[in-house]
Structure formats: structure tokens, C-alpha cells
Amino acid sequence: MSFGSNMLVDTAKIEKILLAKKVGQFLGSEQAAEERAAVEDVARKLAVDVSVKVRRVLAYELRRCSVLVPDLAEKIAKDVEAVAGPFLAVTKAITDKAFIRLLPQLEDYALAILAGRSDLSDAVVHALAQNGKVQSITSLVRNDHVRLVEKTCDTVVNRFGENIYMMDQFSARRDLPIAVVERIVDKVSDHCRAVLVEHYSVSDEQAGQLLDATKMEFLSEQLKGADEAQIHACVTELRSARRLNFMMAIEMANKGCLPFLESTLALEAGLPRGRVKEILTLKNQAAFVELMQMANVSKNLAPRFLKVAKEQLESKAIAA
């Protein structure tokens, strides 16, 4: 008897699943208004069915529909992840205005799915920045297919500026307004700070503020009186520990330790230190450009190396 009851239940569920599939396919095509309205009523009932499988099939079939009655679309969007996820990932049946109104009512998993889309308007992106939690905002800032205008960036920093993981993810973008870069340079890890400085070509004055002054002073003090071989060994060790960056090399050169910069470029370019020393005399401009390319120095940062080299030459000329 129990076996028979289970069979009846399963049969009823299967019939609903098949009905959900047909309803979804029907609404995805052009139909007469009266017929469509009748089928939408059926879809509404299926959208609140006790079975997740039934609701999931319906939502999956409806995800490509360009037109849906708002209450049905929003009901699906508010459902559990298995139902709402595939629908939210692609649906065009919810307008920007409706999305902005709906976002505060959605769970963060739903916002995270939305935040990964490539077709979001600036208005929806900003609304996501205002309403999302860690999961969805991380998804948003890592989405290179959407634009983050300065207002949206400021919202992210205001809400998550103390979350170093989030700021590191944020700093990896290559389209940040410079004003935003200046806000987050002291909120990211040392590695990400160096990448920010290099990519966005922050000014010399700002760059000095980006590096930990205490660490730099300690390193500079440690290398006082060291010969070039000892400095090269130190640079090699820093590089192996992934703690070496170009801004550090420029800062050390500005503190009077040019061999530190020479070793950095030699290691990054795969050249002997003697050859780097020769190139930095700037007797051959083409060789300097080639050195920057071999060391993977960005076009934004290369002028700073050139400035250091020129200043060293001027100092030697004055001393002579």
C-alpha cells in the first residue's frame, strides 16, 4: 500500500514537471494575449509548488523569456538558489527599474549571481554596490565586464574599506578612477599596493606614502655599508620571498642605494648587473627601453626609472 502511494506521488510530481516545462516553452514564444494570460496563471501556481524540482524546471524554461508578468518574474527571483540562480544569470524579463526595487529583497547569493553578469547598467551596478554583502560585492568588483563609475567605487570603499581581502580584489581592476586609487592605497596588502602604484602611475609624493616608511627605513639602515654583492643577495632573497617590487627599488635608489635598483632590474630582466649598470648610464636610449621591456616595467613606471638614472648621472657630474 505504501509502495502504491509513493508511486502516485511520484507520478503527480512528474506530471507537474512536464507541465512546468511545457508552460515555460509556451511563454517563451509569441502567443495570443488571452491564451498567454491563462498559461501565466498556471505558471504562477507552479512557481509556488511545494516541489523544488517543479519550480526549478519552470524557472529554467522561463529564463530566456524576454517578457514575463512582473509578479511571476519576481517570485522566481526570490526563490532558493537552485531555482533563482539560472534564471537571474540571464533573464531580460526584469527591467533595470524593477531590479533596483527588488535588490534589497534578494538573498546575497542572488545578488552575487547578478553581479557576475556582463550586461548590467550603471544604475543596477550601483544598486548592487549599495545592497550587496561580501559574496556579491566580491563578485561585482572582480567582474571586468561591467563598468564601476566613481560613485559606485566610493560606495564600495565606504562600505568595505576595512576589509583588506575585498580591497585587494578591488585593486586588481584596471579601470579605477585615480581618486579611488588614492583612497584605497593604504587599505590593501603590500603586494597589491605595489601593483596599484605601478599600474596607475601615482605621483612621487603619493608613492612615498604607499610604502611602509618604517620597513623602508629599516631596510635602508640594514644595507648601509653593504657591498654590491651583499645588496644583490638581499634583493635576491626579497624576490624569492615575493616581497620585492619596483617601487621599493626606486625608493631605495632615492635613499642613495642605487645597487638595489640595479640588482632588481638585473634579476627581473635576466641580465648581468654589469650590463644593467652600463645601460643606466643612458648612453644608449634604445638599450634603456629594451631593459624596461625585458624587466616587464610598465609604461607608466618606466619614466621613474629614467628619472632615477638621470639624477644619478647629474650627481656624478656635480661630484666630478
For residue 65, the tally of other CB atoms under 10 A from its CB is: 20
The overall average pLDDT reported for the chain is 88
**Lowest mean pLDDT, pick from 4-8, 114-118, 184-188, 249-253:** 4-8
* Residues composing the chain: 320
CA distances from 276 to 40, 289, 300 (A): 73, 12, 20
- What digits encode the pLDDT tens for the residues 280-315? 999 999 999 999 999 999 888 899 999 999 998 988
Contact 173, 148 (CB under 8 A): yes
Element (H, E) at 100: helix 96-102
Between residues 4 and 101, the one the model is more confident about: 101
pLDDT-derived band at 3 (thresholds 50, 70, 90) equals very low
- What digits encode the pLDDT tens for the residues 132-176? 999 999 999 999 999 999 999 999 999 999 999 999 999 999 888
8 pLDDT above the threshold of 90: no
What local confidence, expressed as pLDDT, does residue 211 receive?
Answer: 54
The rounded distance, in Å, linking the Cα atoms of 299 and 105 is 45
- What digits encode the pLDDT tens for the residues 177-223? 888 888 888 888 878 887 887 777 655 445 555 555 656 777 888 88
- Domain chopping of the chain, boundaries: 1-94, 213-319
2 pLDDT above the threshold of 60: no
**Cell 609624493 sits at which residue?**
205
What local confidence, expressed as pLDDT, does residue 320 receive?
Answer: 65
* Local structure of 270: helix, strand or coil: coil
Percentage of the chain surpassing pLDDT 70?
A: 92
The rounded distance, in Å, linking the Cα atoms of 253 and 313 is 13
- What digits encode the pLDDT tens for the residues 49-74? 999 999 999 999 999 998 899 999 99
What local confidence, expressed as pLDDT, does residue 241 receive?
Answer: 78
In this structure, the dihedral spanned by the alpha carbons of residues 282, 201, 252 and 211, taken in order and rounded to 10 degrees, is 180
What local confidence, expressed as pLDDT, does residue 6 receive?
Answer: 53
